[in-house]
Structure 1
């Protein structure tokens, strides 16, 4: 596909996100299989078209099984989650975990792109610190969810004292 040259970086790598906006890009083969940016870079001759994944269920790369999350989430999935009878607090924490995991995946891709584009050490260090902070926050939310599910919910001040 000739248009791929227009969007690749100087090293020939295809982007995982469209800029500006940061929308997830999916690459589709001639056999209608979805590829992530890394796999599409290596198999560019099989790419028939590409576009942004704005909304809906997450897709999965047919080669590496990497999840590709939609830019605006999965509104249908969020409604199902709320309707499954979870307690309000539990559903709220689950949504925070979902959005944190999307943000973390996005930052990890930004780091991979920065490394591929030979970014400055300072920029790479900032991205790595941001990823570490997000991973820690995600882990804390998962522990909080486990406590809520076990009926051991504690007050916000007690939770902050632990962290």
Structure 2
């Protein structure tokens, strides 16, 4: 049980209209150049074709936090799609990542005490690692073997991602999905 009286009040900074609705920006957390140990695939471009493309051999991480509301899946889809466009992903690969983030965030919203959902995109050498974390202590629906909402999420993960995994800790659960270039 939390003793609310012992917690110090926080000063609230200026809040934008998006932040007031629970949309925190998909921030550029880190951009660094990583030494390329050997040539990439013969067909791989030196940089994605999107605006402000990211160089081959570099790594970029984006994170976003959304409130666990009915609007969270749409907000996550929009922000993830915008990042993938910036990185130069083609429409088919973007659609796969956006569908998976929508399923994972939709699952996280079902937990009534979730509060917020963290989404992380890690781009490296054209491949994307998507991670969705929430406060739910139960395994995600995609781990269920029976028909229903969980089965759809599992099929989406199996068909759209190269591999996926999940874990549960005392702080919540995390589902990760990898997408090949």
Q: TM-score, normalised by structure 1?
A: 0.36
Higher Cα Rg: structure 1 or 2? 1
Decide which structure has greater helix share: 1
Higher relative contact order (CA 8 A, sep 6+): 2
Decide which structure has greater strand share: 2
Q: TM-score, normalised by structure 2?
A: 0.34
